Copies of this chain bind each other. A is one copy, B any other.
Amino acid sequence: MSQSLDRALTLLTSIAQDARTLDDLADEIGVHKSTVLRLLRTLEQHHFVRREGARHYRLGSAMFDLANQALDSFDVRRSAHPALAALNARTGHTVHLASYEDGEVVYIDKFEGRHSVRMYSRIGKRAPLHCTAVGKVLVAAMPVARREEIARSIEYPVRTPNTITTPAEYLAELERVAERGYAVDNAEHEDFIHCIAAPVRGTGGEVLAAASMSVPKVLLDYEGLLALVPELRAATREASVHSGWTENGKGH
* Contact call B124/A65, Cβ cutoff below 8 A: yes
Taking a contact as CB atoms closer than 8 A, the residue among B1, B13, B65, B70 that contacts A66 in the complex is: B13
| Cβ B108 vs Cβ A64 within 8 A | yes
When chains A and B are docked, how far (Å) is the Cα of A187 from the Cα of B71?
29
Q: List the number of copies, as a whole number.
A: 2
Q: Is A248 an interface residue (CB 8 A)?
A: no
CB within 8 Å of B: which A34-54 residues: 38-39, 41-43, 45-48, 50
- A149 within 8 Å of B by Cβ? no
Given known contacts A61-B124, A66-B124, A8 and B13 CB-to-CB distance under 8 angstroms = no
- Flag A223-242 by CB within 8 Å of B: 1 or 0 each: 00000000000000000000
Residues of B near A142 (CB, < 8 A) are none
Contact B9 A42 (CB under 8 A): yes
A1-32 contacts to B, CB under 8 A, are 1-2, 4-6, 8-10, 12-13, 15-19
B41 x A1 contact (CB < 8 A): yes
Q: How far is the CA of A45 from the CA of B8 in the complex (A)?
A: 13
SS class, residues of chain A in contact with chain B? helix
B61 x A101 contact (CB < 8 A):
yes
- Expressed in whole angstroms, the minimum distance between the Cβ of A75 and any Cβ of chain B is 12
Give the distance in Å from the alpha carbon of A6 to the alpha carbon of B71 in the complex: 23
Interface status of A123 (Cβ within 8 A of chain B): yes
Query: What is the 8 Å Cβ interface bit string for chain A, positions 107-136, against chain B (1 contact, 0 not)?
Result: 010000000000000111110000000000
Binding site for B on A (CB under 8 A): 1-2, 4-6, 8-10, 12-13, 15-19, 38-39, 41-43, 45-48, 50, 58-73, 101-102, 106, 108, 122-126
6 closest A-B pairs (Cβ-Cβ)?
A64-B124, A65-B124, A67-B67, A59-B70, A16-B66, A9-B46
